[in-house]
Structure 1
Amino acid sequence: MGGSGLPETRSICPYCGVGCGVLLRPDGQGGLDVRGDPDHPANFGRLCSKGSALGETVGLEHRLLAPQVDGRQVDWDTALRLVAERFSDTIARHGPDSVAFYVSGQLLTEDYYVANKLMKGFIGSANIDTNSRLCMASSVAGHKRAFGTDTVPGTYEDIDEADLVVLVGSNLAWCHPVLYQRLLAARKARGTRIVVIDPRRTASCDGADMHLALQPGSDVALFNALLARINGAGAVDQDFIAHTQGLEPALEAAWADDPSVTGLSDSEIAAFCDLWMATERVVTIYSQGVNQSTSGTDKVNAILNCHLATGRIGKPGRGPLSVTGQPNAMGGREVGGLANMLACHLDLENPDHRGAVRDFWNAPHVPHASGLKAVDLFRAVGDGRIKALWIIHTNPAVSMPEADAVRDAIAGCDFTVVSDITAQTDTARLADVILPASAWGEKDGTVTNTDRTISRQRRILPVPGQARPDWDILAEVGRRMGYLRAFDYDTPAGIFREYAALSGIAGQFGRDFDISGLGDLSDSAYDALEPQRWPVTSKRKGGRFFADGGFFHADGRGRIVPVTWCPPVARTEPRFPFRFNTGRIRDQWHTMTRTALSPRLSAHLAEPFLELHPADAARLKIGGADLVHVESPTGRAILRARITDAVQPGQVFAPMHWTGETAPSGRIDALIAAMTDPVSGQPESKASVVTVSRFDAAWYGFAVSAGPMAPRSDYWARARTRQGYRAELAGSTPVDDWEVEARRLFVAPHATAATIVDANRGSARVVLQEGGMIIGALFVAPEPVAIMRDYLATLPGTDSPDALTGRPPADAPNPGPILCSCFGIGVNTIIDAVETSGALSVEAIGEALGAGTNCGSCRPEIAELLHNLTPREAAE
């Protein structure tokens, strides 16, 4: 019986920084029914494919349900006593800077606050950093240089009211789909123009008025050209510029830059600058293509300079908007989760700020200087300076640059603790102690989204096994280390009240972040807290910043910062001739700890790939289904070639999501050099250098199974299906007996086997059954296997007699590869709609099938499919 009679609970999606509201209801079978909250101001009921599939990711499969020490299950008392003793002993022997926390934007604000308080206030070190360092640190640094604080000036409503939206280094259509749909709605309502600035042609280019495919890393030169033209055209806002300083040196730097380094033509640059200057209501949305760079902070300030010079900031439809990658990246920034910050946007190196926080916490130790930022932190783990490490809800053995070196550093650390919801991650497998944490759906607290909106995350599912909230685990360790009163928390509401009170002190220092108006919330009022944008004080609630100046530097004036284009630090050379770009795909999230559990999300792009320009592929003799070796100075990978002119010649792109759990040879951050921005400490993830060559496999395979597989070939990539798993396989060593190999792969030594082997061709097909039902099927050929993969994925658990053929019977439905993940609609279904009902547009397909009508992120792919259909197919 379903849970349709139960009330819905309002909560927040745990993926990107859009901060979409969700309505949750238990389905009566341990899962959830999920829909968008029509009353939440971030999404008004819309959800992307990942948010829509949340109900598929909350099961207990792979969950860690009890603490483990050295791989053995123990009770909480044993685990926490060990953690507290080892950290205390390490500090006593080697000092507070011999320990570190590495935390995550997956933490709720209350969790983040307790972690920051424990490390900076009581351990006495600033060695706490977060995976937001890999995401938004350059934006933080750019904001502080320009505004005096890490302030997001505008709101999502600016997207609704803009006449021009410029997307810089942001594939908004795939990475923040709900905001992209908001932008498309604005275009429909008011004719908003869209410009995309990105070396790649992405889904966000679909329908854009202009795509500027600039050279990687050249954003500063482009925006310096815009700043120079703003001045030359007399478009500087003289009234607003009085609220700033630095225009003249910034102009001198802009004039000295050569815009030709962008690779854009003079006419392209002129068209962009003319459009920008002619449009008063301009919003510039930027993301990882700007931040993840060795010049990321300068890129941010180059963008901010143009808005400051024209006064296009803090007013409806005008301003820069940094879109964050994680659900609580903003909350982490607010509590001082970065190694160079204090809570509530106070400055660690300001003695007055430091003293105020120390007194508020009644803390024995507050460090005087910044701690180790992420890249340096793991280098310190590797060379033995960090001797005790606590990693919380993140997977740095996969996601950090030079991931192999980071993996080895963690493995060699004297003492490593991991808090997570599963022990089956590359990082958790290296830990001495693994602590079972509550997952999304089981946690209570708050998060802050990209436009400063604080929302409540509410528990809807029972906490399984012995799992505990992160704030509770951290507080208990703090108490066991001797800090009883400081960490005497009973509820997240009590933590929030303390945090809000501290923000009032920050407000007295003239800081932007002040939510002291929420400092006296009762537990019931906290539970009922509605979404609201900070600041929240007795005098002000929400709104925009800087329309009339009022910056947070000591003199109250903003800074226009002189910046100069610098090429990426990594230089191409004959050995490594390709510029390597990385990023996300539409339906997966970070290292897939959650999204890989969803068959729906795994059906779209089921294996890691490398986008390669057709001219480069032809020169290297690489075909469309080939596997390729990708090698950099720091690592190597094997990926599926995806030949497309979406990338420029000499440039390649790979997604970041695959791990040792899902595709060991697809861990692409092992190829990324740990080169960082000198201001922000954020590593470069968009412009490493690699070489590419064809992987000459002795055989290729495809497998489906009802249960877990145990692949061990040179290349394999595993994904969930409704019936179990599917996997792509390839090996460089010939296999003598494919039936034996199939039994090993499916862990089924006694199953009944049906086999077709063609030794001359090097092909084999093996189907294993137990009780008359298919438990696994393996298809092998000397070239990439040509079979109906999506059909075969439906066969485990059935008695289909057609499995060995690799093709469905004539009367069986075959939707083909999934294009629309929200509704599970495949390519063949769309083609059938074209042939049978004449649906020749994306809108017509939406009306006929629903595809593209939810989050809309598949619409560019539908459009491309329709474009590529031959006239004959379209006419029939």
Structure 2
Amino acid sequence: MEAASSPAEIRTTCPYCGVGCGVLARPDPQGGLRVRGDPDHPANRGRLCSKGSALGETLALEGRGLHPLIGGTRAGWDEATALIAEKFRDTIAEHGPDAVAFYVSGQLLTEDYYVANKLMKGFIGSGNIDTNSRLCMASSVAGHRRAFGTDTVPGQYEDLEEADLIVLTGSNLAWCHPVLYQRILAAKSARPELKIVNIDPRRTASSDMAELHLALEPGSDVALFNGLLARIARRGAADAAWLAAHVSGYEAALAAAGADDDAATGLSRDELDAFYDLWIGTEKVVTVYSQGVNQSSAGADKVNAILNCHLATGRIGRPGMGPFSVTGQPNAMGGREVGGLANMLACHLDLEDPAHRLAVRDFWDAPRMAEAPGLKAVDMFRAVGDGRIKAIWIMCTNPAVSMPEADAVAAAIAACPFVVVSDMYADTDTAKLADVFLPATGWGEKTGTVTNSERCISRQRATLPVPGEARHDWQALAGVAAAMGWGAEFDYASPAEIFREHAALSEVAGRLGRDFDISGLKDISDPGYDALAPQAWPVTAARQGGRFFGAGGFFTPDGRARMLPLSARAPARPVTASHPLRLNTGRVRDHWHTMTRSGLSPRLSQHIAEPFLEMHPRDAAARGLSAAELVRVTSPAGEALLRLVVTDRLRPGTVFAPMHWTGQAASAGRIDAVVAAETDPVSGQPESKATPVEVAALAPAWYGFAVTLAEPRADTAYWAKARAGAGWRMELAEMAPPRDWEALARQVAGLPDATAVTVSDAARGLARVALMQDGRVAAALFAGPEPVAVARSHVIGLLGGTSPGPVLAARPGEDQPDQGAIVCACFSVGVNTIISAIETGNLADVDAIGAACRAGTNCGSCKAELRTILTSIRHQEAAQ
């Protein structure tokens, strides 16, 4: 009998960062997917990072919301849709359209985003639709619009390979955009003369490949680039002909730059001179910037300070040169294109321009067009809190975790008269606050388009069946629009139909002098849409993709770019005696946003499994703090409990914490509860990198580590849990010792009748408990008065075994080497395995480590750590 052929691979796009990697997905017999990088996609050319490689591990239906809920009780779609329409309609009738709001997400597909924007701005008649992209790239949007007239990204990814100098500023590319990092590493390997500068208050994995790391004072980016602009002028490096033909404002910008003092950067004169000389002396320079620039109360000015330098020298829009904003979400760009921000219209049209409003109103045949910008994210949730907004629909995002002053945001949502949440999961911090929960489709189930950081439009394609009663976001929106009386205008049969309408509207925008024009796709057929290949916009009869501004042609009224006079200013909130440290927040290598997807993969929690705080040794010593203890991080907005990492990777006076942990993953790991809600006055983007905080010891009575086959539960002062191997791991701590260690272990594991095997030392406060269920190790707890020293990977691997003895030993025997903490998540390679390979093989470089044990040979984002391990061993050998 002939074997059945395996399912064909389906071309789709990764749902994580804005690199927009192509993915080949093949359904497997278990109902999941096998994934690999698409070698034909222009963004990644077959590469995937650790998160993308693990996509097939994140598709289980466990925990999915599969049915609409009203007040926590299962309901039908018709009932839920009717209730939403009624509540929104009644609120608008009584309080006006600005009493309702949508808060959406850069993880929506463009078609979802388009329908949401059309419904709110053209039919409800309010500008109150904003997006979590406000938190990551709004300052770049504002900077582009001020300088170029539109939100235009000038360059393409290939510029990274063609440049002779790449400046990474406020961008840990190695961890946050690993595939672009690999493209740069490959280019540097092929052309060793390619130079890299890393500008960041922290020394990160991206610093590893840089010839120059500038650990500038937090918030001093404008001072640095003003200093560069002044030096450009003094060195005669400004392009006078380019400025005369294409730029306005040079003299005023230069005067402001000359009045600034680059000593505010905290960098030495030698460091500044080295950077200025390298930038000025290298024509083909690309300046890559991301959240470290954007997430600031002066974010728009920081962006324009960078743009000023490129405009002054004419280094823009030509191969290997230009400013380059890399975005954090898969469709942050698509959201910008459809007007998902409160102050924009679809297709890069301006909400405040009467002609643009009229054009969109006529195109949509809209009954009442928004006439003014709506509330940006921070102000939107303040309005929810004070009662101005009385009904809000939150889609595909988790603001009770991710917004600054997250506790206040959660309280505002909880108190709002009517809250709708569309999500894959009904148990997120935000979804639990909903009056109506709508089950949404996710990656692998949705179909539509996304746009990446280089303006490349790619297809996401459905590869799995829609589970339960979940619906696509555009379907949920169109259903509510119909129930509110606009059925004909939202009678879409497919995403292809929405895409055609979006493309046709872009032709209107093109006639009005906008950059975003994909009118060449306005008549695309359904089969053509299904087969749509990745392509950068614009897509018109006259032009396909490419760079902008190499020959001028800016989108201002006179066609000239604008240079802005800028002055450096300190972060919005000064440090004080009670809050003397600056908190910087960001991402870790293997997790994504609030972990609703990446947290499902045990592999992605191997590298970092709990929330942490980095602190300089000097600051730790001043507070009597030691590595691995638990600390309380406080600001006037709130507090978090985190594991302390003492490191010289960051400047004294600053601390760093990741933003991923939620109320489902940790007892108090929501770092955005600590972050102050200060915003940039131009972009509205919050300042997530400079909140004044203080740090103190938690001083628990005991610390614990548990492994369980079933999901653990705890109500201790501190806990953090993550999937691990075939089960779970959990870190714990409590302020008083338990009455009974065995009872505690059973409570954590949810096994009240399990048989306990215990080893304890009451005098030293130590306890180890293994729980046996059906003859197998179902859980184990290790506790003591100090952070528990256990071979965690080894113990996790023993879950489900038949003997409690090896588990209670907590470390492998001589014939069972402990691989140690995982460094390479792609292939689960631990630090001890790497050290052994280096020592036994006398390995001399990172490539040799990869050949010996595979570490670093997939996405490569662990290569910086591999190099650190190798350097440490060589230093130890030299000291002997």
One fold, TM greater than 0.5? yes
Residue of structure 2 aligned with 1:266, choices 266, 269, 286: 269
| Deviation at residue 52 of structure 1 after TM alignment | 0.5
**Is 2:624 aligned against 1:621?**
yes
| Deviation at residue 6 of structure 1 after TM alignment | 1.5
Match of 1:193 in 2: 195
| Deviation at residue 77 of structure 1 after TM alignment | 1.1
| Deviation at residue 874 of structure 1 after TM alignment | 9.6
| Deviation at residue 811 of structure 1 after TM alignment | 2.4
Pair 786,468 (structure 1): closer, same or farther in 2 beyond 3 Å: same
Counterparts of 1:7 and 1:452 in 2: how far apart (Å)?
28
1:50 aligned partner, one-letter code: K
Match of 2:870 in 1: 866
Equivalences for residues 541-560 of structure 1 within 5 A = 541-560=544-563
Q: Point out where structure 1 has 5 or more consecutive residues left out of the alignment.
A: none
Query: Does the Cα contact within 8 Å between 1:4 and 1:25 map onto a contact in 2?
Result: no
Query: Does the Cα contact within 8 Å between 1:582 and 1:655 map onto a contact in 2?
Result: yes
Runs of 4+ in 1 over 6 A off after TM superposition: 1-4, 870-876
Counterparts of 1:107 and 1:96 in 2: how far apart (Å)?
24
Counterparts of 2:350 and 2:604 in 1: how far apart (Å)?
41
Match of 2:567 in 1: 564
CA-based RMSD of the aligned residues comes to: 1.4
| Deviation at residue 620 of structure 1 after TM alignment | 1.4
Counterparts of 1:822 and 1:465 in 2: how far apart (Å)?
32
Match of 1:825 in 2: 829
| Deviation at residue 623 of structure 1 after TM alignment | 1.2
Match of 2:855 in 1: 851
Report the TM-score, using the length of structure 2 for normalisation: 0.98
Match of 2:217 in 1: 215
Residue of structure 1 aligned with 2:665, choices 646, 662, 665: 662
Equivalences for residues 456-467 of structure 1 within 5 A = 456-467=459-470
Residue of structure 2 aligned with 1:704, choices 707, 730, 739: 707
Match of 1:427 in 2: 430
Query: Does the Cα contact within 8 Å between 1:423 and 1:434 map onto a contact in 2?
Result: yes
Query: Does the Cα contact within 8 Å between 2:37 and 2:45 map onto a contact in 1?
Result: yes
Equivalences for residues 251-650 of structure 1 within 5 A = 251-650=254-653
| Deviation at residue 4 of structure 1 after TM alignment | 7.9
> 3-state DSSP class of the match of 1:869?
helix
| Deviation at residue 758 of structure 1 after TM alignment | 2.0
> 3-state DSSP class of the match of 1:481?
helix
Report the TM-score, using the length of structure 1 for normalisation: 0.99
Query: Does the Cα contact within 8 Å between 1:358 and 1:366 map onto a contact in 2?
Result: yes
User: Which range moved further: 184-193 or 408-417?
Assistant: 184-193
Counterparts of 2:68 and 2:3 in 1: how far apart (Å)?
32
| Deviation at residue 873 of structure 1 after TM alignment | 7.1
User: Which range moved further: 753-762 or 307-316?
Assistant: 753-762
Query: Does the Cα contact within 8 Å between 2:811 and 2:818 map onto a contact in 1?
Result: no
CA displacement 1:405-436 (0-9 Å, x = unmatched): 00100011101010000112100111111111
Counterparts of 1:682 and 1:235 in 2: how far apart (Å)?
33
Counterparts of 1:270 and 1:493 in 2: how far apart (Å)?
53
> 3-state DSSP class of the match of 2:231?
helix
User: Which range moved further: 792-801 or 606-615?
Assistant: 792-801
Query: Does the Cα contact within 8 Å between 2:332 and 2:451 map onto a contact in 1?
Result: yes
Match of 1:97 in 2: 98
| Deviation at residue 871 of structure 1 after TM alignment | 6.3
Counterparts of 1:767 and 1:616 in 2: how far apart (Å)?
39
CA displacement 1:580-600 (0-9 Å, x = unmatched): 101001000000000000011
Query: Does the Cα contact within 8 Å between 1:3 and 1:26 map onto a contact in 2?
Result: no
| Deviation at residue 841 of structure 1 after TM alignment | 2.0
CA displacement 1:672-717 (0-9 Å, x = unmatched): 0000000000000001110011221100000000001111111111
Match of 1:28 in 2: 29
Counterparts of 1:793 and 1:616 in 2: how far apart (Å)?
34
| Deviation at residue 812 of structure 1 after TM alignment | 2.6
> 3-state DSSP class of the match of 2:485?
coil
Counterparts of 1:68 and 1:513 in 2: how far apart (Å)?
39
1:102 aligned partner, one-letter code: Y
| Deviation at residue 157 of structure 1 after TM alignment | 0.8
| Deviation at residue 872 of structure 1 after TM alignment | 6.9
> 3-state DSSP class of the match of 1:38?
coil
Match of 2:720 in 1: 717
Query: Does the Cα contact within 8 Å between 1:738 and 1:766 map onto a contact in 2?
Result: yes
Q: Point out where structure 2 has 5 or more consecutive residues left out of the alignment.
A: none
> 3-state DSSP class of the match of 1:206?
helix
Match of 2:229 in 1: 227
Counterparts of 1:589 and 1:503 in 2: how far apart (Å)?
32
| Deviation at residue 738 of structure 1 after TM alignment | 1.1
User: Which range moved further: 383-392 or 75-84?
Assistant: 75-84
Match of 1:125 in 2: 126
Counterparts of 2:96 and 2:138 in 1: how far apart (Å)?
27
1:815 aligned partner, one-letter code: Q
| Deviation at residue 836 of structure 1 after TM alignment | 2.5
User: Which range moved further: 181-190 or 170-179?
Assistant: 181-190
Query: Does the Cα contact within 8 Å between 1:701 and 1:729 map onto a contact in 2?
Result: yes
CA displacement 1:72-94 (0-9 Å, x = unmatched): 11111111111111111111111
Counterparts of 1:819 and 1:862 in 2: how far apart (Å)?
8
> 3-state DSSP class of the match of 2:798?
coil
2:600 aligned partner, one-letter code: L
Pair 617,306 (structure 1): closer, same or farther in 2 beyond 3 Å: same
1:481 aligned partner, one-letter code: M
Counterparts of 1:402 and 1:845 in 2: how far apart (Å)?
44
Counterparts of 2:248 and 2:535 in 1: how far apart (Å)?
33
Query: Does the Cα contact within 8 Å between 1:835 and 1:873 map onto a contact in 2?
Result: no
- The number of residues matched between the two structures is 876
Match of 1:729 in 2: 732
> 3-state DSSP class of the match of 1:729?
strand
Identity %: 66
Query: Does the Cα contact within 8 Å between 1:3 and 1:25 map onto a contact in 2?
Result: no
Counterparts of 1:871 and 1:399 in 2: how far apart (Å)?
41
1:314 aligned partner, one-letter code: G
**Is 2:40 aligned against 1:39?**
yes
Match of 1:71 in 2: 72
| Deviation at residue 757 of structure 1 after TM alignment | 2.5
Counterparts of 2:225 and 2:174 in 1: how far apart (Å)?
23
